[in-house]
């Protein structure tokens, strides 16, 4: 039944097939699958559009957004690059990115303009959601969605996953919020991440769509679940209704995902099935951060390349993360407070984290899209929870950009603010770079209406 | 100076006011290193930390006289209002599936973590939504469980209460589905609901030409339903319904779904009466599942889950092994189980007893003979040894330490936050928080901290925590006993809110006799049972009454659990229903 419908669908000439999965193999397979009517092959240029190959100039690929967050900030004194504009030279802490200065933009000197009430908490809340952190005793939550989710709501609907959240350090909880008290937990284990993205539900380009009557039955079960919810919804108060509504939205996403499984995957040239990752147990009480970061980088790069998602947040480590790095005499957070002087060990850890950021950027750059790279069609925001960790300041906030959002942004410049300008200008600029028609970001002192023109191409 | 009564920082203003008080305390207190400065800081600090509990007067206001009051005879007004749907915690998700199918099914892990609010995952389950990622995983886990149920012969034979006569057999499908759904949804199903589930079974059976496959989809529908994944506690006329009470009771005492007997009692309307509710609560408490449920409460209350992700540097701690966290968790839970269920002991014994449970890992750490070659056994620590009670457990000592060292601040904060339910103000930002390195003038942590406390903005708040932590300095970052720190003799003496202590054991006794200690258990267990943070009024009325009764009855935890069940906070719903 489904098969027949599918063939009919294929036989309909459609002038623009950008989002409709169609490849030469698909069409030919349709021919041999018993269809008896004549087939009008679509013109070759459209044909190639779906293949990714016709984008010879590198345009037309979707834009992707990535948030790459690490805990415990920086040492501003050793962070700010020399020189502004293009050709910036790396500071000691940015040394690991020396080979990427033409790809990475550094924005230094901005301040997060919210009340800095909670060490390590107010910074990310203020920068990523533009609002004061909500604090109740030991509890804290963003008051508004985090930047990754604002973007996911706008552009995430077309892909298998609206957004993907990943944690690198074991136990990372992340700060991806759908709204107050509503967090998106990151995937922590490489194998679980692989299974979700590239496991049983993944079809690589050129592979047939999954023909399985169980998929439709699973959707009918979801309908039954929705009916259960509808029967009780009216009796709930406002807050509970919103909680349930988020649940039902997630079910609708599952339904869409099941439908996608029944159709051909998009045919991006660079997309292929990665190999299954290993387990990465701690060694001598220390997590294997290099390996965990590398595998997460590769899997996420491929998730972008296969257009499984266009919005990712990578939580390298949490605020206050006390990861015990190889060679360090104490946990990261403890060192930021207790190590005296120039904090050589903390510097070493920040450099190591920058190396991890570089690994991710490299993974994106190594994947071609047309005559550009995947990185060109991304914009990755690298940031943290504080500026100077020792004092929890949220001025001199660390902000890195990689990728140009398909040419919207400049490539590889250093922008410096000596007057502590509002950091909210960055999220506003990035939403605009992703094509969102937004005119402002943030609340109160963090409110802005103008983006950071200096980084726009 | 005025102290306001609140359990949370209600506003930025309030927080800032607190911080100013804190700093004021340090400025006035730290001027001179006279004998008096410490006292003056303490006056301010005590006031500061008590405003969160019950105001300045709480130091002396807790009535320790016996009050044999009936816990049901409380005041009328309890208006919790929203929220009224409670998610299942990770643990409840698994235990509910086990109890629905009466089998230890290997439930695959979901992607939904617990979110803590008010100190407890049980409260977070009332305030947060399921994440989209979690919901996605519930769908997959539901099919995996359904598949396991139908392919495991012992389980399958139990649920197949009829033999289908055709691929589509509505009557048989209903006979199989109905009792399972009743347990999973914790109530009788409406005809519509039952018809919907049978419809799912039938259409899947038809499509896949298999009655068995139909059942798989039916079971998956039950397990994905909001009626399984949430506990709906909407109430009716200001009271929870019998079914809602059955769920509250079962998840409080068993951390799992109600059994058939409890659902029958609910159906018969027995839980609306004092006697009926008491009888069911007593039955549940005497069931072995209550011991599992109580363990869960203490895992949440004492934040013991942290022990499963300990990060310790083995090159610093020779006695650290990768099974330490797990072993330490089991020690604390075993002792609690023993005190609460086998001895029905006074809860204060948790901090003073020399009885504990050790396996070879812990015996080595504690430097005592291993009682058995493997597994845990009860032991009595030397009566005059350094170690007694929870504050001597490897779990408490290692969880509230750094990966490479102790932390007097984290340990002190844990005593105040967790055991005494006192909020420590959030440290101010933009101050240097470093502790000086050991030096000639500051060889041990005590002197290093003292130097540290010369920073005015740190001192007031750290004086609440660090003196407690200094009392535990004889135990290193994994709980190994030591006399020396950096080659110098450790001085573990101090005082806790006016009670002097000479060492860790006396500190434990001081915490046990602290007026906030028992009240803190009452408050936390009530939060756990009701899934919400109490109002200020409830703190002064119901929680105080429960506390007084708990104390007067000898501080028996089972008795407290029973009193909480019978209290209005457990039984009265918001006005909405």
pLDDT in tens, B164-217: 999 999 999 999 999 999 999 999 999 999 999 999 999 999 999 999 999 999
**Is the per-residue pLDDT at B22 higher than 90?**
no
SS3 A413: strand
For the record, the structure tokens of B456 come out as: 């005015």
d(CA B80, CA B118): 15
> Which is more confidently placed, B11 or A191?
A191
What was the pLDDT predicted at B541? 95
Q: Is the pLDDT of residue B19 over 50?
A: no
- Report the distance separating Cα B397 and Cα B410, nearest Å: 10
Q: Above 90 in pLDDT, residue B424?
A: no
Q: Is residue A286 assigned to a domain?
A: yes
**pLDDT-derived band of residue A59, with 50, 70 and 90 as boundaries?**
low
Residues A193 and A216 in one domain: no
d(CA A361, CA A367): 10
Structure-derived torsion over alpha carbons of residues B27, B29, B30, B34, reported in degrees to the nearest 10: 150
Instruction: List chain A residues with CB under 8 Å of B230.
Output: 244
- Helices marked H in A262-372 — which ranges? 289-305, 332-338, 344-365
Half-sphere exposure (Cβ direction) of A121: Cα atoms closer than 13 Å: 19
In-domain check, residue A179 = yes
Q: Are residues A288 and A395 in the same domain?
A: yes
- Disruptive mutation site among B128, B226, B243, B576 for chain A (greatest number of A CBs within 10 Å): B226
Domain annotation covers residue A73: yes
pLDDT of residue B61: 30
Question: d(Cα A136, Cα B9) in Å, to the nearest integer?
Answer: 5
Q: Do A118 and B426 touch (CB under 8 A)?
A: yes
Give the start-end residues of each E strand in B169-260.
230-232
A139 alpha carbon, distance to own chain's centre: 26
Chain A's closest residue to B577, CA to CA, is: A235
Tell me: do A421 and A449 sit in the same domain.
yes
Question: Does A345 lie at the interface with B, CB-CB under 8 angstroms?
Answer: no
The total of structural domains in chain A comes to: 3
DSSP assignment letter at A56: T
Alpha-carbon span B496 to A422, nearest angstrom? 45
| Co-location of A185 and A96 in the same domain | yes
Q: Residue A285: which CATH number?
A: 3.40.720.10
Number of H helices, E strands in chain B: 27, 8
pTM over 0.90: no
* B294 vs B18: which has the higher pLDDT: B294
Residue A58 located in a structural domain: no
Spatial CB neighbours of A150, under 8 Å, sequence gap ≥ 6: A427, A431, A436
Residue A105's alpha-carbon distances to A90, A361, A424, in angstroms, are 11, 12, 17
B:62-81 residues touching chain A, CB 8 A cutoff = 81
- Taken as a whole, chain B contains a residue count of 577
d(C-alpha A164, C-alpha A311), whole Å = 6
B-contacting residues of A 282-311, CB under 8 Å?
Answer: 282, 284-286
B420 in reach of chain A (CB within 8 A) = no
As beta bridge partners, residue A315 has A69, A167
Instruction: Please answer whether residues B508 and B494 qualify as being in contact, where contact means their C-beta atoms are separated by less than 8 angstroms.
Output: no
| pLDDT tens-digit readout, B460-475 | 888 999 999 999 999 9
Q: Which two tokens stand for residue B228?
A: 């399984």
Using the predicted structure, report yes or no on whether residue A128 has a pLDDT greater than 70: yes
Domain span including residue A246: 212-261
| Residue A366: other Cβ atoms inside 10 A | 13
Q: Which residues on B lie below 8 Å from A231 (Cβ)?
A: 192-193
Shared-domain flag, residues A424 and A304: yes
Q: Which of A338-352, B53-67, B72-86, B209-223 has the lowest mean pLDDT?
A: B53-67
Task: Note the pLDDT of residue A6.
Answer: 33
Domain ranges of chain B: 85-232, 301-512
Name the token pair of B13.
């203003």
Asked if A129 and A144 touch (Cβ cutoff 8 Å), the reply is yes
Per-residue model confidence (pLDDT) at position B14: 43
Asked whether residue A360 falls in the same domain as residue A311, the answer is yes
Contact B284, B249 (CB under 8 A): yes
Omega prior to B380 cis, within 30 of 0: no
The residue with greater pLDDT, A56 or B207, is B207
- A343 interaction partners in chain B (CB closer than 8 Å): none
CA distance A363 to chain B (A): 25
Query: So what's the pLDDT on residue A446?
Result: 97
* pLDDT tens sequence across A299-318: 999 999 999 999 999 999 99
Phi, psi of A149 (to 5 degrees): -80, -30
A284 & A331 share domain:
yes
Per-residue confidence at A138, pLDDT binned at 50, 70, 90? confident
Q: What is the pLDDT of residue A51?
A: 38
pLDDT at B431: 72
Candidates A118, A246, A340; nearest CB to B434: A340
> Are residues B403 and A331, on separate chains, in Cβ contact within 8 Å?
yes
Shared-domain flag, residues A88 and A42:
no
A-B contacts (CB, under 8 Å): 214
Tokens, residue B485: 């720190």
Residue A24 has a CB neighbour count (10 Å cut-off) of 16
CB < 8 Å from B in window 39-58 of A? none
Report residue B575's pLDDT band, with 50, 70 and 90 as the boundaries.
very low
Does A74 share its domain with A145?
Answer: yes
Q: Which residues of B touch A334 (CB under 8 A)?
A: 402-405
CA distances (Å), B440 to each of B77, B382, B471, B486, B488, in order?
62, 35, 22, 11, 11
Q: A341 — contact with chain B (CB < 8 Å)?
A: no
A397 located within any domain:
yes
Angstroms from A4 CA to nearest CA on chain B? 17
Confidence of residue B428 (pLDDT cuts 50, 70, 90): confident
Strand ranges, E, within B382-498: 484-485, 488-489, 494-496
Nearest to B156 by CA among B93, B211, B95, B224: B211
Q: Are B15 and B4 in contact (CB under 8 A)?
A: no
- Distances from the Cα of B470 to the Cαs of B29, B187, B349, B406, B503, in angstroms? 20, 53, 22, 10, 9
- When CB atoms are compared, the residue of B128, B135, B431 closest to A251 is B135
Q: Are residues A28 and A123 in the same domain?
A: no
B97 in A contact zone (CB under 8 Å): no
If you count DSSP H runs as helices and E runs as strands, how many of each does chain A have, helices first?
Answer: 12, 14
Is the model's pLDDT at A374 over the cut of 50? yes
| CB–CB contact B403 A192 (8 Å) | no
Residues of A in contact with B431 (CB under 8 A): 391
In A, minimum Cα distance to B130 occurs at A247
B139 touching A (Cβ < 8 Å): yes
What pLDDT does A38 receive?
31
Q: Supply the pLDDT for residue A1.
A: 33
Judged by a CB distance cut-off of 8 A, whether residue A157 touches chain B is no
- Interface contact B429-A392, CB threshold 8 A: yes
Q: A20: distance to nearest CA of chain B, Å?
A: 25
Q: Cβ of B221 and A224 within 8 Å?
A: yes
Residue A331 domain flag? yes
Q: DSSP secondary structure string, A164-232? A: EEEE-STT-----EEETTEE-PPB--HHHHHHHHHSTT---TTSPPP--HHHHHHHHHHHHHHHHHHHH
The reply to whether B432 touches chain A by the CB within 8 Å rule is yes
Length of chain A, in residues: 457
Residue B90 has pLDDT above 60, yes or no: yes
pLDDT digits 0-9 by tens, A39-53: 333 323 223 334 344
Kindly write down the DSSP assignment for every residue of B285-306, as one continuous string.
HTSHHHHHHHHHHHHHHTTGGG
- Tell me how close the Cα of B221 comes to any Cα of chain A, in angstroms: 6
Same domain, residue pair A433 and A324? yes
* Residue A23 DSSP symbol: -
């Amino acid at each position: 039944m489904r098969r027949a419908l599918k063939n009919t669908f294929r036989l309909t000439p459609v002038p623009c097939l950008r989002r409709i999965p169609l490849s030469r193999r698909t069409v030919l397979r349709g021919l041999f699958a018993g269809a008896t009517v004549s087939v009008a092959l679509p013109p070759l240029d459209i044909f190639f559009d779906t293949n990714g190959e016709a984008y010879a100039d590198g345009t037309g690929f979707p834009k992707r957004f990535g948030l790459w967050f690490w805990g415990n900030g920086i040492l501003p004194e050793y962070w700010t690059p020399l020189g502004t504009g293009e050709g910036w030279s790396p500071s000691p802490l940015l040394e690991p990115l020396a080979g990427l200065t033409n790809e990475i933009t550094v924005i230094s000197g901005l301040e997060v303009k919210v009340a800095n009430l909670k060490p390590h908490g107010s910074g990310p809340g203020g920068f990523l959601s533009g609002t004061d952190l909500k604090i109740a005793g030991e509890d804290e939550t963003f008051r508004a969605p985090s930047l990754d989710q604002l973007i996911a709501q706008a552009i995430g609907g077309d892909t298998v996953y609206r957004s993907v959240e990943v944690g690198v350090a074991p136990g990372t909880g992340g700060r991806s919020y759908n709204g107050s008290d509503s967090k998106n937990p990151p995937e922590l284990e490489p194998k679980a991440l692989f299974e979700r993205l590239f496991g049983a539900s993944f079809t690589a380009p050129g592979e047939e769509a999954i023909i399985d009557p169980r998929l439709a039955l699973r959707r009918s079960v979801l309908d039954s679940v929705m009916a259960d919810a509808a029967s009780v919804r009216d009796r709930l108060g406002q807050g509970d209704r919103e909680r349930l509504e988020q649940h039902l939205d997630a079910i609708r996403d599952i339904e869409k995902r099941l439908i996608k499984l029944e159709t051909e995957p998009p045919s991006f040239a660079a997309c292929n099935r990665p190999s299954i990752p290993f387990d990465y147990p701690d060694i001598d009480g220390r997590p294997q951060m290099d390996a965990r970061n590398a595998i997460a980088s590769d899997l996420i790069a491929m998730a972008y390349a296969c257009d499984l998602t266009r919005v990712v947040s990578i939580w390298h480590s949490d605020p206050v993360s006390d990861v015990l790095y190889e060679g360090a005499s104490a946990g990261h957070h403890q060192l930021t407070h207790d190590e005296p002087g120039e904090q050589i060990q903390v510097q070493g850890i920040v450099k190591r984290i920058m190396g991890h950021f570089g690994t991710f950027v490299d993974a994106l750059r190594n994947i071609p899209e047309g005559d550009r790279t995947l990185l060109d069609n991304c914009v990755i925001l690298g940031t943290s929870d504080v500026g100077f960790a020792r004092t929890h300041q949220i001025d001199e906030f660390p902000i890195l950009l990689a990728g140009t959002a398909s040419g919207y942004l400049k490539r590889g410049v250093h922008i410096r603010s000596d007057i502590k300008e509002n950091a909210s200008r960055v999220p506003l600029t990035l939403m605009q770079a992703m094509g969102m028609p937004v005119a402002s970001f943030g609340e109160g002192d963090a409110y802005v209406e103008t983006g950071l023109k200096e980084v726009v191409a | 100076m005025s102290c306001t009564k609140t359990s949370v920082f209600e506003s930025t203003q309030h927080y800032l006011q607190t911080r100013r008080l804190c700093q004021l305390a340090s400025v006035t207190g730290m001027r001179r290193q006279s004998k008096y400065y410490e006292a003056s800081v303490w006056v301010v600090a005590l006031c500061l930390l008590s405003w969160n509990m019950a105001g300045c007067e709480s130091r002396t206001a807790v009535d320790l006289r016996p009050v044999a009051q009936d816990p049901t005879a409380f005041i009328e007004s309890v208006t919790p209002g929203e929220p009224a749907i409670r998610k299942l915690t990770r643990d409840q998700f698994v235990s509910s599936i086990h109890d629905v199918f009466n089998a230890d099914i290997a439930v695959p892990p979901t992607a939904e973590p617990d979110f803590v609010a008010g100190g407890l995952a049980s409260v977070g389950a009332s305030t947060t939504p399921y994440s989209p990622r979690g919901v996605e995983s519930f769908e997959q886990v539901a099919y995996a469980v359904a598949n396991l149920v139908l392919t495991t012969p012992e389980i399958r034979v139990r649920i197949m209460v009829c033999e289908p006569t055709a691929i589509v057999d509505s009557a048989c499908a209903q006979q199989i589905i109905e009792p399972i759904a009743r347990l999973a949804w914790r109530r009788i199903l409406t005809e519509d609901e039952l018809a919907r589930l049978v419809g799912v079974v039938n259409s899947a059976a038809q499509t896949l030409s298999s009655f068995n496959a139909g059942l798989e989809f039916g079971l998956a529908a039950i397990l994905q339903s909001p009626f399984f994944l949430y506990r709906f506690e909407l109430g009716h006329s200001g009271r929870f319904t019998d079914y809602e009470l059955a769920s509250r009771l079962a998840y409080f005492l068993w951390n799992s779904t109600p059994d058939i007997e409890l659902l029958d009692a609910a159906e018969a309307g027995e839980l609306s009466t004092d006697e009926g509710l008491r009888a069911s609560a007593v039955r549940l408490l005497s069931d072995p599942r209550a011991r599992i449920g109580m363990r869960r409460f203490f895992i949440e209350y004492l934040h013991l889950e942290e022990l499963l992700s300990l990060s310790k540097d083995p090159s610093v701690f020779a006695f650290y092994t990768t099974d330490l966290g797990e072993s330490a968790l089991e020690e604390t839970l075993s002792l609690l189980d023993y005190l609460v269920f086998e001895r029905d002991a006074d809860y204060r014994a948790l901090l003073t007893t020399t009885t504990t449970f050790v396996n070879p890992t812990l015996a080595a750490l504690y430097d005592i003979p291993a009682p058995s070659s493997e597994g845990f056994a009860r032991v009595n620590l030397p009566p005059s040894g350094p170690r007694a009670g929870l504050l001597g457990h490897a779990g408490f000592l290692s969880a509230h330490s750094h990966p490479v060292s102790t932390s007097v601040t984290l340990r002190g904060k844990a005593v105040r936050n967790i055991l005494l339910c006192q909020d420590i103000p959030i440290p101010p930002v933009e101050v240097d928080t470093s502790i000086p390195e050991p030096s000639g003038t500051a060889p041990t942590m005590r002197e290093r901290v003292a130097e540290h406390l010369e920073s005015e903005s740190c001192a007031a708040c750290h004086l609440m925590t660090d003196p407690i932590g200094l009392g535990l300095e004889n135990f290193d970052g994994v709980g190994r006993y030591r006399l020396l720190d950096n080659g110098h003799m450790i001085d573990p003496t101090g005082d806790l809110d006016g009670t002097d202590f000479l060492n860790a054991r006396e500190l434990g006794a001081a915490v046990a006799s602290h007026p906030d200690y028992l009240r803190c258990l009452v408050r936390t267990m009530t939060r756990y049972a009701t899934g919400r943070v109490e109002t200020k009024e409830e703190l002064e009325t119901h929680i105080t009454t429960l506390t007084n009764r708990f104390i007067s009855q000898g501080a028996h935890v089972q008795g407290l659990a029973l009193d909480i069940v019978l209290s209005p906070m457990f039984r009265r719903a918001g006005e909405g229903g």
